[in-house]
Chain A
Amino acid sequence: MDTLTGVEHLAEPDGFRAFVEARSSALLRSGWLLTGDWPSAEDLVQTALAAAWPRWASLRRQDAPELYVRKIMVNTFLRWRRRRWNGEIATGRLPETQAYGDVFAQVDARQSLLAALDRLPARQRAVVVLRYFADQTESQTAEAMGCSVGAVKSHAAKALARLRHAPGLAEFMTGGVAS
């Protein structure tokens, strides 16, 4: 019976495939900024899309599928972070010791960025990703995170203050390496 239920449940909603194909890259990049690695980013996006699947028709009527998916991503990420702090500590990324040429400069830039984001509390990191990468408004960010606009502003200001002095990141704020 489970498999039958699964089949019924898996009737692909209209427009779902087009959304996934069009937006998965952007969602994955947000996931990478949140989690710091591609496997976790893929997991995050898959989890959010799976949650959106059965509600897709309603989300499309509200013209809000991406907002919903990002909301699930952020909340799932925050939950993972709480679990990590209370339990298993993930192994850190290994620093590259050499950097030559443009390709390695890109690597350095990415590592500096992730290192800086790693130093942010989870909610500040989520605000940075939603506000400054996903280009969400303050009210959309507040809606996704389930907090007030004032809290979003506060998180954003604190995150900027920390990133301003992040080692290796400041030089990229005024130009430099392209992805």
Chain B
Amino acid sequence: MNTEERQLADVLHRITPEPPRRVTVEQVAYRLVSEPRLGRGSRLGREPRPRRGGLGLSRAWAPAMAAAAVVVIAGASAGVAVLASSHHNSPSPPGGASASSSVSSAPVSSSPSGTQSPAQQTTPATAIVGGPWGAELIDRQAFTQGSLVSGDGSLFAYGTGTLDRIDPVTGTIAATAPYNAPLPNPPVIVGNTVWVVWSNSGGNVVLHGYNAQTLQQTASVLVPTIGRVSSAASNVLTAGPDGHLYVAAGVSVVTVDPATGQLTGRIDLTVGTASSVAVSPDGGTLYVGIGGFKLLVYNLAGNNVADESTLRDTTSLGNLVATSGGVWGTTGVGMSEWTWFAPDGDLSRAVRIGEGAGAGFASLPSYSGGVVWVGGSHTLSCASPADGRILDTATLPTDHQVVEYFSSPAVVGGHAYSFYQDNAAQLSGLARMTPPPACSGLSS
């Protein structure tokens, strides 16, 4: 190499950042299962490129999809991961849980995962050793990370190609509908309707509405965008306190009346393409995430931009959560991801909340039951929605020095529910907890 070539090599090595997460064998295994052509010697040229930001690619959601692969492989034999056998070259014991499981007992789940039938047998709840707030595993389905929400007395989440309603008492899937999320955006519950983003590409965003009890589709709304949708889209759909839907639509945000499906307004942005939206609980402020990552604070009453700030990290996700005191989100450094809170939506005053997550997990805050929850693989905390103060926190267990993961919970019926994953035991499912009084306002 000559001098100029060496300089270029030096620049490439110095400037290229470390990846926010590593690729895991489990993700590769998932690709092989979901795209068997890759492993069977057919021409790679026929493989369509997956959607950017799609489920298999998303930074935040990829780990949970690896868990979903576990369920696909397990097939109809058990609801517990059998992929462990391919990792450790030994079969799982009867019941599916490997010897390193942190669950105190491992009863057999006779219900096949990922089926379309809501009829399932109840899995006995089992205590999670060292789990926070009396955590017990009530079901061993695999769900998409960051998709769990509560509403209308139920839990809702994305399964493997499905939108599911989960009975919080038994943990079983009470209703299901075919659904493949085009981007990270949890279901949005308005009244007795569950709204999801059906597609988000080119110049259109399509929303689907489902009856919250039966998950029968009841509505479809086409939202034309101004310009193309963001390539970093995440949480492009949210609801205000009056039930109106807010949709990131190119260089605009569109409001939709869910009762009629009519577009009721459009806010034009001048600073870029909206990648995520959130609305304050009082309905007065719209937060718009742009790129990775600028935050726009829009005064809905005055129809003006109140503030605009940029976070000092371009790897931030668009998972905005708005509370009375400001807005929350997730950013990442190296292998860890952690939650920030920006008072009044001012990113220059953003503070770190919680210990975050590593090992391919994401710490995505949730606002449920009157408090903000911050899960991850180190701690599980509840925090004040007004000022970001931690109200209570629990240290999460490890399994043979491998972190265990509790997602930020959703609250219903006086309990908090998290997705739980134990990589050492290749075990995942829904955990139920009873948080302390400090995490007050437990109602949904």
Contact = CB atoms under 8 A, between A and B. Distances in A.
Contact of A10 (B8, B83, B312): B83
A75 to B, nearest CB: 7
A38 B20 CA distance: 8
Most buried by B among A43, A160, A173, A176: A43
Given A113-B15, A177-B15, A164 B20 contact: no
A46 B24 CA distance: 9
Nearest to B227: A91
A28 B19 contact: yes
A96 interface: yes
A37 B52 contact: yes
Contact of B19 (A9, A32, A40, A96): A32
A23 to B, nearest CB: 9
Interface string A31-50: 01100011111110111011
Contacts of B59: 38-39, 42
A54 B39 contact: yes
B23 interface: yes
Nearest to A27: B23
Interface residues of A, number: 75
Contacts of B40: 54
B73 A7 contact: yes
A53 B20 CA distance: 24
Contacts of B228: 91
A178 B18 CA distance: 11
Given A10-B33, A37-B231, A110-B314, 18 more contacts: A3-B76, A12-B86, A12-B87, A16-B25, A20-B23, A20-B28, A25-B22, A29-B17, A38-B315, A50-B32, A75-B44, A94-B272, A94-B273, A128-B12, A132-B9, A156-B5, A172-B11, A173-B11
Interface of A: 2-7, 9-12, 16-17, 20-21, 24-25, 27-29, 32-33, 37-43, 45-47, 49-51, 53-54, 72, 75-76, 79-80, 83, 88, 90-91, 93-94, 96, 98, 101, 103-104, 106-107, 109-110, 113, 128-129, 131-133, 135, 156, 160, 163-164, 169, 172-174, 176-179
12 contacts: A4-B75, A10-B73, A12-B29, A25-B22, A27-B23, A28-B23, A38-B315, A45-B23, A46-B23, A49-B28, A50-B39, A132-B5
